[in-house]
Chains A and B, each alone.
Chain A
């Protein structure tokens, strides 16, 4: 149980649990899964929660309507200090609501991210990826792949999907950079949250006056037909799509590139046969399962999970990371294996809240890996792998920077 922090008063393991190695899951997760798969942990504010670590139980938690996602509820667990203060600056995001309120917000946007719609976006994704590679090739080497490629690609793509002008994308990148900086404190995050809200309010007004062929304009038209435009709700929708579709994808690009540069046999597999890339992408998603904070729920009634009684009012954390390393579901789960069929992983969650943009994320990653290694066959790390800075202190795993050359 090295590097695991135990709360002195309660003698319980502290959550979140930090990663110490990019490849191996912290041993405490495995110990929990093997010995007590539904186990109490202590949160940063001293509150307690049940940590769930088996695949089957994690899916049971995330699909049980008696376990609430509604962060407006008084007893909702606080895993991220200050998060509720930042959230209070916005109309509620759909991810913090339960059905039927959640479904009312999600249903109108489902078709924007359908498999068919995302497939139609593929040529534009390819253009964006090629464009940033063209720019990168003009830069002096080495470059930080995160700054010049991994962050701007998904950011520009979701900006375009929403209907944001290019300047909006640049302004968002500026704000997001501060938000993602390690040294930004709680007040700093709240300030950024307010600025983002102001920008989104302005964008909604602009789209009401000048609609285009984009997600936001279509939502405005739909609401107009239904009798009224919910301006704060639309601002929150835009912000959610931007925030959820930006850093997460960048982290997966960086981790995927890092994996293939340090394990050339993996790269050889997709280079030999690009039809294997979709499988490789799902395996990377399973293996890294970047949200280290897990999925949080509050029991509205007594519920049994994995044979353990969770009482009304108690908090539950489903660890999608631990679930995706469950040997009962994935053979040799600690192995990053591109030939594995891993698509039943829970890296995008499970249940009614499962990631809305998952199919977009998949196609982005496929295009990125195929294009980057084809156009830059000599791509390599510009520093020894041991010197890379991983986000082990953040809530979403990834790399702070990825210096590369070619």
Chain B
């Protein structure tokens, strides 16, 4: 799986960071940074959760 972000949509709510700070962070503008673009193992579940919880639908998963 590959995590994709959309900065046009991101509203900086930080919900992804709260879900898994190892995978997500916020940049100086408060917008999402994806730290692990290809999460594996337990991180996959966290990535799916972050995609679901994002209020702006700014995250998506591309299955390889």
Contacts and interface: CB of A to CB of B under 8 A. Distances in A.
Interface of A: 63, 103, 106-107, 110-116, 343-344, 349-352, 354-355, 358-359
7 residue pairs, one from A and one from B, having the closest CB atoms: A110-B12, A110-B30, A111-B30, A354-B55, A115-B14, A115-B17, A114-B26
A114 B25 CA distance: 9
Given A115-B14, A116-B26, A343-B19, A110 B31 contact: yes
7 contacts: A110-B30, A115-B17, A116-B25, A116-B26, A344-B52, A350-B55, A359-B18
A352 B12 contact: no
Contacts of B21: 115
A344 B11 CA distance: 16
B28 interface: yes
A329 B54 CA distance: 16
Contacts of A359: 14, 18
A113 B13 CA distance: 8
A112 B26 CA distance: 11
Contact of B30 (A63, A103, A114, A355): A114
Interface string B30-60: 1100000000000000000100110111000
A113 B11 CA distance: 11
B22 to A, nearest CB: 13
A158 B11 CA distance: 21
Contacts of B31: 110
A203 to B, nearest CB: 24
Contacts of B49: 344
Nearest to A344: B53
Given A343-B53, A344-B53, A352-B56, A111 B26 contact: yes
A316 B19 CA distance: 30
B19 A115 contact: no
Given A63-B57, A343-B19, A351-B56, A115 B26 contact: yes
A277 B14 CA distance: 19
Say whether chain B's binding surface is mostly helix, strand, loop, or mixed. Answer: loop
Given A106-B11, A349-B55, 18 more contacts: A63-B55, A103-B11, A110-B12, A111-B26, A111-B29, A113-B12, A113-B14, A114-B14, A114-B26, A115-B14, A343-B19, A344-B53, A354-B11, A354-B56, A355-B13, A358-B13, A358-B14, A359-B14
Chain B interface size band reads: 20 to 34
A110 B11 contact: yes
Given A343-B18, A344-B52, A351-B55, A111 B13 contact: no
B26 to A, nearest CB: 4
Contacts of B25: 116
Nearest to B57: A63
Contacts of A106: 11
A296 to B, nearest CB: 17
A63 B52 CA distance: 13
Contacts of A350: 55
Contacts of B29: 107, 110-111
Nearest to B31: A110
Nearest to A352: B11
A115 B18 contact: yes
Contacts of A112: 30
A116 B26 CA distance: 8
Nearest to B9: A352
Given A107-B29, A343-B19, A114 B56 contact: no
A163 B28 CA distance: 20
B19 A111 contact: no
A63 B21 CA distance: 25
A354 B26 contact: no
Contacts of B12: 107, 110-111, 113-114
Contacts of B52: 344
Contacts of A355: 13
A392 B21 CA distance: 38
Given A344-B52, A349-B55, A111 B18 contact: no
A112 B14 CA distance: 12
A359 B18 CA distance: 9
B5 to A, nearest CB: 15
Nearest to A111: B30
